[in-house]
Each structure stands twice: as structure tokens, then as C-alpha cells.
Structure 1
């Protein structure tokens, strides 16, 4: 007899595992298919900085013991200036976080099959009815969820998403010890998450130092290989080369040492979703994509997308006459645009404008932030147009004109 579940989820990342966790608490028969082997999980998919906020921990009942360090501030750096604001944060031990979600979901009744590489959807009469995995193996469900991230084997084949290569961000991160967290030439980074805008280090992107206790931190960078990257990039440099140059040149790393086995690589797409759901199918997390375009925070939004998917599935499967049509699944689309990633288009525009700016403009931005009201950055970060206008200068007209020409007129 064919294996059958209420819901099959492809991928055991934070979004997939949280969706399973939510649905299992509602007593649905849930199966998660995960590519990695159980005894190694999540060795190959441990790709996040783990930077998030206590509101995520509280909203999803995440224990403190998966947190490496609670932070008290966010620091923004440009090549020559910085801005510090009070903002509580949490730097997770990402592997522990993922294992907790899986184990907690299993305790609620979710079933996990490891060593199960999803290859494509099973479609019958135009509707998704299951998933193929490990070549010829099949499993069936009333609803299928793609939480595989940028690979998106189900969502791509169903034409739900169109992830564009030119909008793909790549990142690399080391965990280091021996860092001078309070160097006299820089802002104090104790109990801080720092983001640096500097095209010499991350052309068309940003770099970071997330304090994880004493003299240790997560240190990395990411960028999108777009027009901004091509304009500011150094000839022949790979992403590894940029990180190596930063570690060699920044005096805070003069005595720093890499922690063995603590190197992470990852990618995500920074673009508007082209689709979110269809008949009997939903895409969540970085499959959509859901990552915050401006500062790269993806954990909280991925978890929110998981919960929105679980709410949608519950709404479709609870009635006696179950309805998993595209029309009913569109509840997820509504929740995504209103609760998961509101004002996404505005935030994407802000991101593109920010990365078009030269290093000199980043220096003036830090000075402007230091003289602005405390809430200005927060309001601008939330897509408030008036707050954004406060941070623009007359000289930015050329950047806006260029953005409009490159993005909307070509």
C-alpha cells in the first residue's frame, strides 16, 4: 500500500521543521523528508549566522539553551564611521536550534525520514498528490510543502517560483576566537551584532561580526552578484578572498584564530516572490524566498512563513469537506504579504538603493543616523517612506535615477 500522510514537507530546515511542529500539535499526520543523514544532521545545512531576536524565541517557544549569546545592541559601520543603537538580539547555535525543532516536532508526533532526497512532485490530473524521492520512491499527501530553500525542486517544477540567478546572494562565515572586541579605533562590539557597509570588503553587500561571548564571534560577509558587485568588485577576487583580506587588514583580527570545523557557506535569493502556492501545494522559507532583503535576517521570517503555512493547511483540512484548491491555499499568500513580509517591494527598493551607494555615502549615512531621532532608522527599516526621506540627500537623486533606469526601464 502506498505511504500516505496529511502533509509531506520537503526539507528539515527551520521553516520545514517549524511547519511540521505546528501541524503535529494539531494532530495531523506529518512527514518531513530530509536529504541529510540523521547521524550527521545538520552538518551540511548548518549555513546561517543564527542572528535573530528574542521576539522569535518567545513567539515559537524556543529554549534559551540554543542561544550562544544574547546581545544588547546593533552596530552599523561604514569605512570610517559607525552608529550604535540599543536593540536586544540573540545569536543562535544554529545546529542546536535545528536539532531542537526536529526533536520537538518528533515528540509531538511528526515523522522524519532522513537520507531522503526529494526529486520532484507527483502530479495527477494537474494536481500535486505526492513527492518522489531517492529516485523512484514515492509518498503521497493531501498537501505538499516545499521547504528546501534555493534548490526548490518542487516549487521550480510546478512553476510556483522563479528564482533568478542574478538576485542570488552568497555568503561565507568563520567562527573566530582572539578578536579584539573593543578596539580603540572602532565601536565596542561586546554583546553586539555589527553590520558593516564597505565595498572593499563586501562589494554589493555587507559584512558582519556577531559577538558570541568573551573574545569569540561569528565573522562573515555576503553579496549579490549584481551590477553593484560588478562595479565595486576587485579583479580576480572570490568571496573567500574578500573575507581573507578583511581578516588580514582589520586590526581587530590581528590575533584572531579560526575555530576548527566552524566555517559556513550559504546562499539565498533577494527578490520578490513570483508565486507562493497552488493546488495542494505551498512554498515556505528560502524557497519563496523569505529572507529580509535589507539586513539578511531570515530565521524569524522563515519561522513566520512556516506558521502561516500551517494555519493555511489547518484551514483547508479541518472542514468535513476538505478543500485544498488554489483558491483556498491563497490564504497563505495573503498571510505572507501581510504578516510574514509586509512592504517587501519597498524594502527591496531600499536594498538596491543602499548597495548602489559608494563608500563615501555610507560614511555620511552613519553621520546622519547619529544626528537623527532614535526611531528614524527603525521606521525606515519598516518601510516608512517619510523616515526614508529623512535619510536621503539631494546627491542621492542620481542613485535613484540610476536605480529606476536599471531596474524598471531596461
Structure 2
């Protein structure tokens, strides 16, 4: 007979491991199945830049010893300008952070099985009652949670996943020593997290330098497969080529060296989620997806989605009165939109408009940011339309026309036969108005 648990979590990333921590703390019998080998964990899943903010550290009790550097400002760069804002943050050692989540979850009572690749759901009467892993191994639970990220073997099988290839963000990062963090031609990046908008380096995306202490930093680039990428990309450049080009041309890296064997590759989907739950099932973290479209930060939102899932489990299995119907499980969807990412749609729209802009507009954008007061900046960060309007100029009409044209093309797609011939941008395809 198959083993029985209250909850099975597939995947030991930040979302899955945090969900297991919360559930074990609440006294639930929870099993986490993780594909990787425990001795090397996390080797293949060590993909995050791991820049986050104090609210995550405090909310989830993250210890200081998994933090590489506490930062005190965020710097935004364009090709010829920059903007600096005081904003505390933290750059985590992602591997240490993931191992801590597992260790702490185990101490609280969660069971982990490594070398356990989840392959398919076990279905009875159309509902998931457990999972198969490593071929023919089976385990069952009242509720199953997919936290495997974009692979989403359970969510896809249950028609919950709606991840789209055209919204795919692809990134690469090195850890460097010998970085000139206070070069006279640029803003001071000491104890800073910097994001750079520059289609020459990251067409349709952004690049970054996150100070990790002394003369060391995490340095990387990411682009989304969107219209701006197609218009600005070099046909013979891979993501690796763009990062190497930046290192070869930016004087801050003149004396920099890569840390041997340290390289992070990752991908994420930048879009609105569809349904995230069904009978006896939820999808969390990057399975949803959950990455913030403006900052590219996924850890905090993934952790918050884990907590929302744990709250939902408690509501469904409360005091033995089990109700795991799709209607009851949909509490998770409501919590996600209310607490995890309440402004996600607005931030997606703002990001789409941002990536459509040319490089010279990015320079002016930095100037505009200097003119905004603190209250307006906070509203801008939340995608407030009036705050965004403060950054628009008369000569942005062409940019806005392209933005609206792409939005109309997407909104009508599927309702009218081929309303336009223009191919939809990756960022445009990120929105579903439901």
C-alpha cells in the first residue's frame, strides 16, 4: 500500500521548502520530494541572483549567516545616466539559503526525500490523490503542492499550468572579484543592488551588479523573449555573449576575474497566472509563476505564495473537517492576488511599456526619476497609472501608440479572426484580463 501524508510538496526550492516549514510548524504530516541528490543540493537548482529586501528576511526569520551582504541602496542605470535611491536590501548566498530552509523544516518535523523525481499525479475519479516518482514509486496525500518551477509536471498534467514560452526570461550570472564599485564614470555601487536598462547589453531586458562584499559582486544579464529583444538583439549573440561583451567593454570590470566554477543560469516566466489550484491541488512559486516583473525578484513572492498555500491547507484540513474541493482550495488563488502580488497586472503593464522604450528614453527616464517625490515613487513602484503618467512626455506618443497597438492585438486575439498581422511581443502576451 502507498504511504499516506497530509500534504506532499514536489520541489525543495524556496517556495516548496518554506511551505513545508509552515505546514510542519502547524503540525501537519508533510513530505517533500526533491529531484536533486542531497549531498550536492542545490547544484543544478542554484539559479537565483538572490537579491531581496528586509521584509522577506524579517517575515520568514532568515538568519544573517546566509546573507552575503546587506545593501543600503538601489541604483538604476541607463546607457548615460543613473538614479540612486536609499532602499535597504540583502544579497543572499542562495545555496546556503536553500539548505537552511531544508534543515529548519526538518527540525520542525517535515520529511524530505532527495533523489526523488516526481513524474505524474495519481488520479482517482479525476482528482489527484498522490504522486508517482522515480518511475513506479507512489505516495499519497490529502493535498498535493507543485513547487517544481517551470517544469511543473503535476500542474501541467492537471491543466493548471499556463506558462508560455514567449514570456520566457533567460539569464546568466557570474560572481566576480576585482570589480571597481565606485568608478568615476558611474554611480557608486558600494553596498548597492544595481539594475541597468540598456538594449546594447540586454535587449528587451536588464543587466545587474549586486555588491556582495569587498570588491566582489554578482554580475549578470537577463532578457525576455519580447518585441524589444527581437528588434534590438544581435543575431549571432547568445546570452553568454552579451555578458562577456559587457565585461569586455565596461571599465568597472577591467581588473575583474570570475570566481572559478561559479556560474548561475536561470529562466522565469513573466506573465499573469491563470488558475493556481483545483481539487486537492495547488501550484506555488515559479510554477505559477511568481517573479516580480519590475525588479525580477522571485524569492519573497515565492515565500509568500508558500505561506498562502499553508494557510489554505489549514482551511481545508481544519480540525478533521476535510474539504479539499476546488472551491475551498481556491482560497489560495484569492490570497495570492490579495497578499502575494496585489499589483501584479499593473506592474506587468508598466514593465511592458518600459521595455518598449529605446535607450535614449532610458537616459531621460533617469532624469525624470530625480524630479519625483517619495510618495509618487512609492506609487510608481506599485504601477499606479497616475504615477506612471508623471513620467510621460509629449514625444512619447509614438511609444504609447505602439504599446496600445500591441495591447489591442492581444486583447482581440482569439475573439476576432487575425485582427492584425503584427507578431505579439513576449511582454504583451503576459496579460490576461479576466
Sort the TM-score into its range (normalised by shorter chain).
Answer: over 0.9
Rounded Cα–Cα distance in structure 1 between residues aligned with 2:252 and 2:374: 28
Provide the residue aligned with 1:109 in structure 2: 109
* Residue 163 (structure 1) aligned with residue 153 (structure 2): no
* Residue 255 (structure 1) aligned with residue 255 (structure 2): yes
Provide the residue aligned with 1:221 in structure 2: 221
* Residue 183 (structure 1) aligned with residue 180 (structure 2): no
Provide the residue aligned with 1:368 in structure 2: 368
Provide the residue aligned with 1:206 in structure 2: 206
Rounded Cα–Cα distance in structure 2 between residues aligned with 1:231 and 1:217: 30
The question of whether the paired residues in 1 share the 8 Å contact of 2:73 and 2:84 is answered with yes
Provide the residue aligned with 2:292 in structure 1: 292
Deviation at 1:401, TM superposition (A): 2.0
Deviation at 1:149, TM superposition (A): 0.5
Rounded Cα–Cα distance in structure 2 between residues aligned with 1:392 and 1:160: 38
* Residue 19 (structure 1) aligned with residue 16 (structure 2): no
5+ long unaligned stretches in structure 1: none
Rounded Cα–Cα distance in structure 1 between residues aligned with 2:397 and 2:152: 38
Residues 316-395 of structure 1 mapped to structure 2, 5 A cutoff: 316-395=316-395
Q: Describe the superposition over 1:241-296 as per-residue Cα deviations: whole angstroms up to 9, x where unpaired.
A: 00000000000000000001210000000001121100000000000000001110
Other structure's SS at 1:391 match: coil
Provide the residue aligned with 2:193 in structure 1: 193
Rounded Cα–Cα distance in structure 1 between residues aligned with 2:157 and 2:9: 16
* Residue 232 (structure 1) aligned with residue 198 (structure 2): no
Provide the residue aligned with 1:409 in structure 2: 409
Other structure's SS at 1:71 match: strand
Deviation at 1:126, TM superposition (A): 1.1
The question of whether the paired residues in 1 share the 8 Å contact of 2:10 and 2:16 is answered with yes
Residues 59-208 of structure 1 mapped to structure 2, 5 A cutoff: 59-208=59-208
Rounded Cα–Cα distance in structure 2 between residues aligned with 1:375 and 1:247: 36
Rounded Cα–Cα distance in structure 1 between residues aligned with 2:287 and 2:253: 35
TM-score, normalized by length of structure 1? 0.99
Deviation at 1:335, TM superposition (A): 0.4
Other structure's SS at 1:176 match: strand
Of residues 385-394 and 82-91 in structure 1, the stretch that sits farther from structure 2 once superposed is 385-394
Q: Describe the superposition over 1:146-174 as per-residue Cα deviations: whole angstroms up to 9, x where unpaired.
A: 00001111111111011100001011000
State the superposition RMSD in angstroms: 0.9
Deviation at 1:111, TM superposition (A): 0.3
Deviation at 1:397, TM superposition (A): 2.5
Rounded Cα–Cα distance in structure 2 between residues aligned with 1:399 and 1:112: 51
The question of whether the paired residues in 1 share the 8 Å contact of 2:83 and 2:370 is answered with yes
Of residues 322-331 and 388-397 in structure 1, the stretch that sits farther from structure 2 once superposed is 388-397
The question of whether the paired residues in 1 share the 8 Å contact of 2:346 and 2:382 is answered with no
Equivalent residue pairs, number: 410
Of residues 74-83 and 375-384 in structure 1, the stretch that sits farther from structure 2 once superposed is 375-384
Residues 244-283 of structure 1 mapped to structure 2, 5 A cutoff: 244-283=244-283
